[in-house]
Chains A and B, each alone.
Chain A
Amino acid sequence: MINKISKTVLFIVVIVIIVWGFSDSYSSLNIDNIVHVVAIGIDKSDNSDSNIKVSFQFINTSSGSGSEGSSGGDTSSVITSISSDTVNKAINLMNSYIGKELNFSHCKVIVFSEDFAKEGISTEICTFINNEEIRPSTNIVISTSDANSYLKNANPNIEKIITNYYDTFELTSNFTGYSDDSTLGDFYNKLFHPFQGNTAILGRTFEKVSNSSASQVGSENNNSNSSSNEESQNSTGSSSKESSNSSNTNPSQGTNQEQDSSNSQQNSSSGQNSGGNNSQEDSSGASLEISGERGTQNVGIAVFKDDKYVGQLTELDSICHLLITNNVDSFLISVPIENFPDNVLDLSVSRSKNSKITVDTSSQNPDISISVYCEAKVLTIDKGFNYEDSDFLEKISRKAEEVLKGYIVSYVHKTSKEFNSDIASFGNYSLAKFLTTDDWQKYDWASKYKNATFNVNVNINVISSILFSGNNN
């Protein structure tokens, strides 16, 4: 009997100790006491007393029913900024301001402004990766404008909530190849690597569609392509009206317009950085025009040397980068074909097998051979062209190989000669040539990469068109 009573007492004591010990954690992690951050923006501070301006984007749970206007996605998120010395201090200040604890377990994106990233982001990246709530899969975006504007303009126009839009980054990268799906985990992994360069998603902001003017991705083309603007405005007339309503409710509209003017300068300069290529041109060389309610687009790749942003790659470079690193499923290229309408034929290209990379380190400078293997389907059909003609398909294949090879050569030279940043990790393929880490370090890949020679081999097999084989008549 006494034994039974002592067991019961012991059991109760243990339960009381457990409840007492874990109640604090339960309270601090209670849903009522936390607020979920979905995106973080980091800018240089305007204030001379502090170093950085941190913007936090929250989901506004009180507007879940869309009572404040469901047409604009911006009503479902709240952006608050704070200037501080460090990210951790900013988080603490924000905790105090909001009266709840910030929780980052649903944080999808971390945006750095281009200006901030040029001075190095290792401290911030290390701070974020050391936070157990932030996932390694959180995307890193470098905004050509300030990060705050990027967050304000990133209103989902199809998805109901902002997090759904941020979830599309990986998917879009896979089937367009226009940008890399760079994540915090990958970025940190390469941050202290002896030779690997880093990449991030290049995010652009532009003026959202309003009733007065349509927007363009390429800010530098705003004036020269005014006629195109009008056409696109006409074609999206209905959405323009909707967005004009939503833009009226957006208090940041004025700020965004200011940012756009600064964007045009930044984009122009970055265009010069990338060897004079217009980053806003598609593969056929025509300028891209986009108009819509969302004022952001992720096109291109931001390139880092160590922790500093050194330049940007265009969407074509991005395709080449993802193709070489086996991170793209399919993409589109346009091949110039004589006598074809507009002289351009669109191909949907997919990887048939992984790229093959070999590195020869026997000479003074590394000799890098790249072979990529693709299959393609013709998207463009027109009168007078027959895709059942094997010779014609062969001709398209050779032409496509020539075009893609040109892009890849341009990309590898840009990364080596211009940025001196081995973002495709070619150095990894030379590791097997050395016996010990000491031997490898003596070779000094990091400094030799800029003198590397490249031998590019592209194999494209054009299979057919999709549903029609062309028209002989």
Chain B
Amino acid sequence: MIVKFTVNNENRTLDVSPNKRLIDILRQDLNLKGTKEGCGEGECGSCTVIMDNKAVNSCLVIACQLEGKSITTIEGLGTEDNPDPLQTAFVEELAIQCGFCTTGMIMSAKALLIKNPNASEDDIKTALSGNICRCSGYEQIINAVQKAQQSGGKHL
């Protein structure tokens, strides 16, 4: 099927199988490999991207759901030279170890802050409860999100 949607503010028109997973479209068709697959069943959150301002597991979204949607991946969030405050805070607060959960974690946090820039600590914990980190005890991650909140920053 032909599907038209935007990825990181770029218009995309792709001819893909209707049940192709968004994560595979991103990684295989668009070479956006910052999105990681950790479970393929929506349990670990490492493949989280933002779809129309909401965090979704890209392993659970398929091509036929993408028409007209706006997708943001970690690549669309920022670069080292022009980072999102969340990326800076994750680096500075030592919220990154093995890094395999990191991009999904940042995208979940970003979706929360778009909706609720003043999110409380409990809101942050709820928003990130679908993202597993096996290296840390989450403290640094929560600190990073709070630091990013304080520094304000751009919105999508």
Please say whether chains A and B are actual partners in one complex: no
- Using CB atoms and an 8 Å cutoff, list the residues of chain B in contact with chain A: none
